[in-house]
Amino acid sequence: MKTITKQQIRQAAQEAYDEVKGLSGGANANYIPYLANIDSNLFGLSVTLPDGYSINIGDTDYRFGIESVSKVPTALLVMKQSGAQTVLNKIGADATGLPFNSIFAILLENDHPSTPLVNAGAITACSMVTPVGDSNAKWQAIVDNITDLCGSAPQLIDELYKSESATNFNNRSIAWLLKNYNRIYDDPTMSLDLYTRQCSLGITSSQLAVMAATIANAGKNPVTGKQVFDADLMPKITSMIATVGFYEHTGDWLFSSGIPAKSGVGGGVVGVLPGVMGVAAFAPPLDKAGNSVKGQAAVKAFVTKLGLGVFNGQNVEIVE
Ligand code: GLN
């Protein structure tokens, strides 16, 4: 049993933040005009523990585009609505080893879209959200689920939604290719629009840390006390995050950090240590795979300082 104090956690977060703050490198996502114009110096680090205790350092109240981090809550939603086995059958849980928006991956694995945590599988996941055929009700279910996980509501960034809708040609191809392979379960245009809209939700790193902590706490939101999903989905969603959260860099990330984490091109990074804590970081400049440079460095430095990691074979107890 490893025992750590809240003070040690706070100190590790502060040290990680201070060390990473001056880090340069990477560039804002440039293929979505709105994201290219966000202040590159924004940087926040947030931690939430299973008792709701939270640490927020830096720009943790800044609302940025959730982007691909939204794939995690919607994967949970379809597992809640249809069951984990159905999601495995209809979408899958395999890493692609390829970029998030890969069309090649769909051609290679045209019997299923691989995983709900890449664009193809996420568009399929949006098609599976019930009630099928009702765009408004599906959207409400997506937003309500994110609200439950975060303990507070996300807000659509309209400018981002417009910016992304006007430029998402690759994703349009993905939606129709999925249709071609019978791997989309509602209207392709509507499913793509739901995906684009969920990516355009504004969220803060402090909200994402609560989401991560809800996952780490087996579905019970540590802030609101609400049981958002069944405990048996915690290992399912965490394994998906572990296998593909950073796309073609996932293996290197997991090897060097030890924490399953998911990125978004808005600059968000969300990490889950089951039973222990949720962590989130935000900084817009990205590496070539689309993962936040500072976000990765901060999360890695933080867990490394505490000696935490899913493969360490230790039970962790957090004391006052
Ligand atoms: N909305 C973005 C896209 O589909 C999300 C990508 C990401 O965050 N990796 O391209």
Q: Buried b / exposed e across 225-245, counting CB within 10 Å, b at 16+?
A: eeebbeeebbebbbebbbbbb
Structure tokens at 196: 């684009």
Residue 263 burial class via C-beta count within 10 angstroms: exposed 0-12, middle 13-18, buried 19 and up: buried
- What proportion of the chain, given as a percentage, has pLDDT over 90? 96
For ligand 1, the distance from its centroid to the CA atom of residue 6, given in whole angstroms, is 35
Q: Which of 31, 119, 208, 286 to mutate to test the pocket of ligand 1 (most atoms within 8 A of CB)?
A: 119
Residue 171: CB within 6 Å of ligand 1?
Answer: yes
Q: Which residues pair with 55 in a beta bridge?
A: 47
Contact 257, 304 (CB under 8 A): yes
H or E element at residue 79: helix 71-82
Report the nearest atom of ligand 1 relative to the CA of 100.
9
Q: Give the pLDDT confidence score for residue 122 in this predicted structure.
A: 98
| Residue whose CB lies within 8 A of the most ligand 1 atoms, among 74, 101, 170, 208, for a mutation test | 101
Residue 264 CA, ligand 1 centroid: distance in Å = 7
Give 63-112 pLDDT, tens digit per residue: 999 999 999 999 999 999 999 999 999 999 999 889 999 999 999 887 77
Grouping H, G, I as helix, E, B as strand and the rest as coil, residue 148 is: helix
Mean pLDDT of the chain: 97
Q: How far is the CA of 68 from the centre of ligand 1 (A)?
A: 5
What's the average model confidence in pLDDT over 148-177? 97
Per-residue confidence (pLDDT) for residue 200, from 0 to 100: 98
Mean pLDDT (whole number) for 290-306: 98
Overall average pLDDT of the 233-248 stretch? 97
By alpha-carbon position, which residue is closest to atom 2 of ligand 1?
A: 67
Rounded to an integer, what distance in angstroms lies between the CA atom of residue 228 and that of residue 150? 10
pLDDT of residue 278: 98
CA of 133 to the centre of ligand 1 (A): 24
Up-side HSE of residue 49: CA atoms within 13 Å toward CB? 17
Which atom of ligand 1 is nearest to 264's Cα? 8
Asked if 126 and 31 touch (Cβ cutoff 8 Å), the reply is no
320 CB burial (10 A radius; 0-12, 13-18, 19+): exposed
pLDDT of residue 135: 98
Distance of CA 165 from the midpoint of ligand 1 (Å): 12
pLDDT of residue 274: 98
- Which of ligand 1's atoms lies nearest the C-alpha of 199? 1
* Ligand 1 pocket member 161 (CB < 6 A): no
Contact 74, 123 (CB under 8 A): no
Whether 101 lines ligand 1, by a CB cut-off of 6 Å, is yes
Q: How far is the CA of 111 from the centre of ligand 1 (A)?
A: 23
Atom of ligand 1 nearest to the CA of 68: 8
pLDDT at res. 301: 98
| Structure-token pair, residue 10 | 């706070």
Q: Ligand 1: which atom is nearest the Cα of residue 200?
A: 1
User: Can you give the pLDDT at residue 111?
Assistant: 77
Q: Atom 10 of ligand 1 has which residue's CA nearest to it?
A: 101
Domains and CATH numbers, the chain: 2-310 (3.40.710.10)
Q: 7 C-alpha to center of ligand 1: Å? A: 36
The model's confidence at residue 145, banded by pLDDT at 50, 70 and 90, is: very high
